[in-house]
Every structure is written in structure tokens, then in C-alpha cells.
Chains A and B, each alone.
Chain A
Amino acid sequence: MTNHKITGKQLESIFVLFLIGSTAITAVDRDAKQDSWISLLMSVIAALPLIALYVRLNKLYPGKNFFDILFSIFGGVVGRIIAIIFIVYVIRVGGILTWFFAQFVHVLGMVETPLYLTSAFIIMTGIWAAKNGPECIGRLSKFTLPIILFSIGITFIIAIKDMNFSYMKPVMETDFKSLLSGAFAYLMIPLGEIIICFSFLACADDKVNPSKIYLRSILLFFIFILVALLRNILVLGVPTTIMFYFPSYEAVSVISLGGFFTRIEVLIGINLLLAGFIKITACLYTASLGITKVINIQDQKKVAVPTGLLILASSQTQFKNTVEGLMFVKPYSVFVTLFEILLPLIVWAVAEFRAKINSTQTQATGLDSAE
């Protein structure tokens, strides 16, 4: 258990920013097209059992982070091996996110600046935040969330005059397989990735109700991604939306208010970088916490820099270009099922089994002492 405490609001802000981080910039699924909102709804419903699983794990092991649970359930050796695999996954997610955000800056703004430089700046700031502990990430998130939600809301309102509602038609024209594929992609990236934030629950205030926090976060994620998705499709139309790498940026770039309030796409850039920064920092914190547990040291801050360097190196070895990165989404969403569904399921099943054995033993000991 850690000494840092984060409030319910801060925890909720971390979860929401983690969820909307990378999705707010694309929002639309390339397979589900104008029916992306149905896929989004399906994914949110499908995420509910996963959330129930995380809440149950937290109830079985209150105040423990994911790595503590792994060690408690599987013991030192197997627990360490699973923890190392999970750390590699978290570092990889952090690397992909860093690459994505650096690519965003590179493609849309700083074309001559090497990707490495942008990535290094993001990671160094992330290291600073992770070194200051989860309470710092919580405070940053609580401060950042209203700005992001306001900018998504305001761009939607200003864009209403440029919207063509016929772009949403025909409704339900997409075949069921494509809808499912879209829902699966939303479920794995970003909904399933919320397992990375599980360790923040261990730092939360005792009054925090995890199920309430998870449900409110998912609801906010659904509302704001839906708003971004509708804005992109209604302003650009489906063919144009799926043509762009970063449709939210392009949709907002055509919005203007009275001829003087223009070029507000910078808001989307700020949005993405703020939310993305929190997401990368959450990955960095979780990975450094995991490394701390594996090598059995007390202070997570001491390994923040090496973890950040691993994420930086990982971001350098991702994709050759943006197209390759976008093509990677579908196979990647299948691959991460191992870490986002299978691993939590195994951990939960073994945890339940252990809890049952413990309760049986306690009952038996109680009976013996009574006799």
C-alpha cells in the first residue's frame, strides 16, 4: 500500500483522460463508418463485465495495486514472470502513444522537427509527473479535464452551422461484422487499456467507490467520444473523415465563427497533447511501479527515468509511417486481448479460488477453536 492518496474526482479525471486520450483525435471507426456510434455503444456495453471484474478484484484485494495482487495470487516466481510480461505490454502501449502524439505534432505542425525530439519532450515531462507521484498525476488530470471537455463541447456547438445531417444516413447500413469489428476496436483501444490505471485505485482515498468511478468515467468517455464522432462525420462526411489521419483536427479546421474566430483546430491539438500526456504518464507510472515491485525496492520514483527511457526507445521502434500505424490498429486490438481480457480473467479466477479456500479454512479454524 502506498502513502499517497488521490481523491475520487482526481481518480475519475485520470480514467476519463486515459480513455479519451488517443480516441478523441480519430473518434470514427473506419469499418463502421457512419454507424460508428453503434459500435461505440456496443463497446461500452461490452466493457461493463470487464469493469465488474476490476471492481471485484479491488474488493478482494483492497488497497493493493495490480502487481501486489499478482504476487499475492501467483507467488514470487510466477507472479514476477507475469508482472514482467505486463510491464512490457505497458511500456509498449506507452511507446505507441508517444509515437502517435509525436507523429501528430510532426504531420500537422513541426514537419522539420525529428520525431525523437518531440517524443523526448513528452517523455521528460511525463517522467517529471511520475516522479512526483500519483497525487500529482491526479491533480494534473483534475485541472486538465474541464479544459478538454469544454473544447470538445464548444467546437461541437460552433460546428452546428456547418453540419450536414444527411451524412449520418443511411443508418444501420453497415454489415454486422463491420459493426462488431468497430466495437471490438473501441473495446480494446482504449476501454480495455484501463487495466493500466488499476494501480491508481490502490492510491485512492478510502471513501472512493471504484464501481461508481469506473461507470462515471465510461459514461463521460461515451458522451464525449460520441460528440467528437458526430462532429467529425456531420462536418466532413464519412468518405472525407476516413481519408484523414486525424479527422478531429481536420473537422475543426473548417469551423469558423463570423469570419473572425477561425483556425480553432489548435484547440484539438492542445486537447490531444494534454490528454495524451496524462495517458503516457499513467503508463509510465504503472510500468515504473511494476519494475519497483519486480526488483523489490520501495521507491517508485527511483526507476521513473529508466522506465521513461524504455518508453522513449519503444516509441522510436514503432512504425515507418502514419499509414503503417493506422493499419496496425486492427491486428493490435486482437493481440492485446491477451493482456486486457485473458490476463485479468485468469487473475480474477485464481483470486476467487484463493478467496474461497481462505474462507473455508477460516470457517474450519473457527469450528475447531469453538470445540
Chain B
Amino acid sequence: MDIIFVIVLLYVLLILFDLIPSIREKNKKVLLLSIPIYVFTFAIIMMENLGADLSYINGFIVDIVNSMFHITK
């Protein structure tokens, strides 16, 4: 559970020092990009550290390349 605390702490610090200044500046384009990225990356990092296996993208690349070029492992 320590790691969950560290993840939350990191995001709180980033929100305080990066996101809130952007909100104050009313920079809409930056906010429209930043807020979804904050939520998405927080979810991914939480899931991975809670034990979910999300490393399938590389497996997908390996399968495609191996099926096309028959590269032996």
C-alpha cells in the first residue's frame, strides 16, 4: 500500500504545482489536454501497481513482426 501512497502524493504535488497554475491562467487548450492525461496516466499507473498486467502492447508488436519476418526468439 506504500506505493499507492507515493503515487497519490506525486499526483497531488503535480496538480498543485502544474495543473492549478494552468487553471488560474485559464489556458483552455492546455487544460483540455492535461486533465485527461492526468486521469488516464493515474488510472494506468494505479492499475499496474495494483497487479493488473498491461504489458500486452509489446507482445502485440512482437507477434506482428514475428509473423511477418519469422524472427526466432
Contacts and interface: CB of A to CB of B under 8 A. Distances in A.
Contact of B55 (A297, A313, A317): A317
A319 B38 contact: no
Contacts of A171: none
A296 B3 contact: no
Given A305-B34, A316-B49, A328 B14 contact: no
Interface in A113-158: 114, 116-117, 120, 124
Interface in B39-64: 40-41, 44-45, 48-49, 53-55, 57-58, 61-62, 64
Interface in A319-371: 319-320, 324, 327-328, 330-332, 334-335
A309 B37 contact: yes
A316 B66 contact: no
Given A114-B3, A305-B18, A319 B69 contact: no
Contacts of B10: 120, 124
B53 A332 contact: no
Contacts of B58: 318-319, 324, 328, 332
B43 to A, nearest CB: 9
B22 to A, nearest CB: 7
A58 to B, nearest CB: 29
A297 B69 contact: no
B2 to A, nearest CB: 8
A324 B73 CA distance: 10
Contacts of A306: 33-34, 37-38
Contacts of B61: 328, 331-332, 335
B8 to A, nearest CB: 12
A312 interface: yes
A309 B71 contact: no
A319 B62 CA distance: 12
Given A117-B6, A305-B18, A328-B58, A317 B44 contact: yes
Contacts of B12: none
Interface string A277-289: 0000000000000
Given A117-B3, A319-B55, A330 B71 contact: yes
Contact of B66 (A116, A318, A320, A331): A331
B30 interface: yes
Interface size class of B (residues with CB under 8 A): 35 or more
Given A313-B41, A317-B54, A318-B55, A295 B65 contact: no
A303 interface: yes
Contacts of A312: 41, 45
Interface residues of A, number: 30
B7 interface: yes
Interface in B1-26: 3, 6-7, 10, 14, 18-19, 22
Nearest to B65: A331
B61 to A, nearest CB: 5
Residue among A313, A328, A330, A332 with max Cβ neighbours from chain B (10 Å): A313
A291 B32 CA distance: 12
Contacts of B27: 297, 302
B45 A331 contact: no
Contact of B65 (A114, A310, A334): A334
Given A295-B33, A335-B65, A309 B14 contact: yes
A271 to B, nearest CB: 26
Contact of A309 (B30, B41, B73): B41
Given A331-B62, A334-B65, 11 more contacts: A116-B45, A295-B29, A295-B30, A297-B27, A303-B33, A306-B37, A313-B41, A316-B49, A318-B58, A324-B58, A331-B66
Interface of A: 114, 116-117, 120, 124, 291, 295-297, 302-303, 305-306, 309-310, 312-313, 316-320, 324, 327-328, 330-332, 334-335
14 contacts: A117-B6, A295-B29, A295-B33, A297-B27, A297-B29, A303-B33, A305-B18, A305-B34, A313-B44, A319-B55, A320-B55, A328-B61, A331-B66, A332-B65
Nearest 4 Cβ contacts at the A-B interface: A331-B65, A313-B41, A306-B37, A309-B41
